[in-house]
A = this chain, B = another copy of it.
Amino acid sequence: MPHRFFMNDPDDFVTEAAEGLALTNPDLVVQRTPLFIKRREVPAGKVALVSGGGTGHEPLHAGFVGDGMLDAAVPGAVFASPTAIQVAEATKSADAGAGVLHIIKNYTGDVLNFNIAAELAADENVEVESVLVDDDVATDIEGSRVGRRGTGSTLIVEKICGAAARRGDSLSQVADLGRRVVAHSRSIALALDACTHPITGKKSFELDPDEVEFGVGIHGERGRGRIPFASADELVEKLLDSLVPAVGADSGDDVIAFVNGLGATQLTEQYVVTGGVHNSLQKRGINVARTLTGSYVTALDMSGVSITLTRVDQEFLELWDAPVTTSGLRW
């Protein structure tokens, strides 16, 4: 049976989810029309961070609104970009006098709408810079006009830029830092089962029991190809064989390793994958400086994992370790 959803009127799904989130976290406020989620107070003079994108990737982005990470998040419909008006209103509302950084996953609709929003905000004297996250190795195709998709690294960018904004960096400094994090980060994913669209009830693809979808995206897009189902360690090895050269990690380098569940994959499974990632990176001479494991950048109920590696220096690590207080990420 395809995944069935806890839902009332499908038209209210995204708004009701935002309001439910705010009920769990009194530091958040939901503006309904146009819809966005914001911190109750953005500290005056702090660069504000705004991100967003289609619903279906929770806790990304609204779960990362809070002290040390995002100041506002703008959810679109399921797997659809928010509108430019939504993003513009969130941007103006989040601005605390030091400008706003847009963190944008590289999808045509998101890029278009965030760019229009930046112009609308500029018309009202809000300074906006943007960081485009394009980390998905599976879409690194020579001659591609659209470039790589933005996936798991978005969390790393939001965390590190959030810490920089919190310590008082200027808009251009936070933006430069974000672009450096993007340049040092890559991700790749595989799925053991597709996701189910909550409105249509349709699975995005069908797999045979002896195959897995390799290089899958976070919107149920088909992957780069299919490979045989195998042990966790063998699947991890295949993922890292693509990922490690793509991120440019050499023996002796330090990385943040982020093992991410895509939705229906359980924590136990994610931890088994984490062990495989550590073992394989150790064999490659790469030092895992920090590890994050959990379902943070999901694709509805997809069964699968993504792995993100970020090559880090001391500054990246200090910003990564800095306190964060959000519903989805806290330390």
Contact = CB atoms under 8 A, between A and B. Distances in A.
Interface in A265-294: 265-276, 278, 288, 291-293
B3 A301 contact: no
Question: How many protomers of this protein does the assembly include?
Answer: 2
Nearest to A192: B4
Interface string A36-66: 0000000000000000000110110001000
A231 interface: yes
A229 B59 CA distance: 26
Contacts of A138: none
Nearest to A295: B295
A258 B265 CA distance: 22
A232 B192 CA distance: 28
A156 interface: no
A23 B278 contact: yes
A193 interface: yes
Contacts of A144: none
Given A6-B270, A295-B295, 12 more contacts: A4-B209, A6-B232, A6-B235, A6-B265, A6-B273, A8-B272, A18-B271, A19-B271, A20-B278, A263-B266, A266-B298, A266-B301
8 contacts: A3-B193, A5-B266, A7-B231, A8-B232, A8-B276, A16-B275, A56-B268, A264-B264
Interface of A: 1, 3-9, 13-14, 16-21, 23-24, 55-56, 58-59, 63, 192-193, 206-207, 209, 229, 231-233, 235, 263-276, 278, 288, 291-293, 295, 298, 300-301, 303, 305, 325, 330-331
